[in-house]
Amino acid sequence: MAPIQVKKVCCIGAGYVGGPTCAVIALKCPQIQVTIVDLNQARIDAWNSPDFELPIYEPGLADVVKATRGKNLFFSSDVDRGIQEADLIFVSVNTPTKKSGVGAGFGADLHYVESATRRIAAVASSSKIVVEKSTVPCRTAESMRTILEANCKPGCRFDILSNPEFLAEGTAISDLFNPDRVLIGSLQTQEGKDACAALASVYANWVPKERILTVGLWSSELSKLAANAMLAQRISSINALSAICEATGANIDEVAHAVGYDSRVGPKFLRASVGFGGSCFQKDILNLVYLSESLHLPEVAAYWRQVVELNEYQKRRFSKIVVDALFNTITGKHIAVLGFAFKADTGDTRESPAISLIRDFLAERAYITVYDPKVEEAQIWMDLSEACPHLTLDQIKRQVTIVHSALEACKSKEAIVIATEWKEFREIDWQTVYNNMTKPAFVFDGRLLVDADKLRRIGFKVKVIGRGEVL
């Protein structure tokens, strides 16, 4: 049997995974036509914007889109046409944590996955390879296959693959150009292996073959959850140690450096912080918790749940550090929060620690001024409204101000809280900041960003997470 040739690719979902991934496929595979479709017309319009003001901020992404858009990369809201024309369809839609019903707070909401799958079955008039790109619970592919087979037209067949993405926001383009591995899961039938080979041949245009791993369908689905859970586990582990460091006078940087020298451990993801955020870590761990409980493995569920609980504790602990240092009250005080994105080099605010910190400061009736170089004002107001449902937006706006520079944010404040590790926060003119602050002037570094000794020489009272210094 001749190998399957992939000439046209469609991606359903123009979000953080589908957009960058398929833009890079278009760049690296000029012989393949790539169409990214989404029902959100405003998002598609942003992808097609003449000035390349894309809906996602990711370093290097605009350059990739500039090089391919209109050539072999297209963005469209015509979902049906994209499905009809494609040989291979990526399903890259949102899978948020359920907010109600069975599994609320833990299980993944697969509504969008099911809707996309049913649309493929209804529209497709020829055989397709359907690739599960979204992060999903184990055996979601089985549900997709059942739906497709029950609703497909005569003569159509669908082969299901799992191809989870292992991108880190802020470095997504470099991760796609040079991935640690590409993971493809398939049924271990001949048809499944043929479909797997077809997708592997796409990636082989730029990824060394030894980095393209082919496994069973269920192993692929679980590997994505496992990878994110274990990375988050390392962050919670180092954050737990940061609390011990503060209590004993140890330095978490020194501890992490020493531990990271062990070749069995390694240095990555051992940087203490105010907590992890983003669209994946918490959602995927909770998904793993729900899966474990569903499989009657309560001890396993409890183990992974603690990773998330420790992360929430770290955020609460840092809020309390601020209140305690500011003479046990921040009521009526003015605090600058530098950074609102969950990490640097992204505009993504999902599960951002800054949201939790500001929510806690609002509860203490403080006044907060926020600056982030990439997060839109509308996003900040929406996130704070969701985090503080007991407050109206007008009430929030009486206590929160959004400004457009770090110096403006810090002017006339009693304290500065660094919540995101943006490079520009390293380069602030701290002497000018100090001169314009209420004294004593406090800096609370939740990202191990500042030169604490330099700031103390200027006159600041400095608290760095994971260090036991006295203010």
17 appears as a binding residue in the annotation = yes
16 appears as a binding residue in the annotation = yes
369 appears as a binding residue in the annotation = no
Distance CA 50, CA 72 (A): 17
332 appears as a binding residue in the annotation = no
Distance CA 308, CA 306 (A): 5
* Closest of 276, 275, 253 to residue 448, by C-alpha: 253
Residue 258 makes CB contacts below 8 A (sequence gap 6+) with: none
State whether residue 161 is helix, strand or coil: strand
- Residues facing residue 161 across a β-bridge: 131, 186
158 appears as a binding residue in the annotation = no
109 appears as a binding residue in the annotation = no
51 appears as a binding residue in the annotation = no
350 appears as a binding residue in the annotation = yes
Structure tokens at 197: 């080979």
DSSP string, 420-455: S--GGGGG--HHHHHHTS-SS-EEEESSS-S-HHHH
260 appears as a binding residue in the annotation = no
145 appears as a binding residue in the annotation = no
96 appears as a binding residue in the annotation = yes
Point out the catalytic residue in the list 138, 280, 388, 410. 280
282 appears as a binding residue in the annotation = yes
> Annotated catalytic, 11?
no
- Residues facing residue 368 across a β-bridge: 335, 400
372 appears as a binding residue in the annotation = no
Is residue 444 within 8 Å of residue 417, measured between CB atoms? yes
CA atoms within 13 A on the CB side of 39: 8
97 appears as a binding residue in the annotation = yes
Distance CA 306, CA 217 (A): 28
Distance CA 358, CA 319 (A): 9
Distance CA 143, CA 99 (A): 21
Is residue 111 within 8 Å of residue 100, measured between CB atoms? no
316 appears as a binding residue in the annotation = no
468 appears as a binding residue in the annotation = no
Distance CA 362, CA 395 (A): 10
Query: Which parts are annotated binding residues?
Result: 13-18, 38, 43, 93-97, 134-135, 169, 280-283, 350
Query: Which parts are annotated binding residues for NAD(+)?
Result: 13-18, 38, 43, 93-97, 134-135, 169, 280-283, 350
Residues noted as catalytic: 280
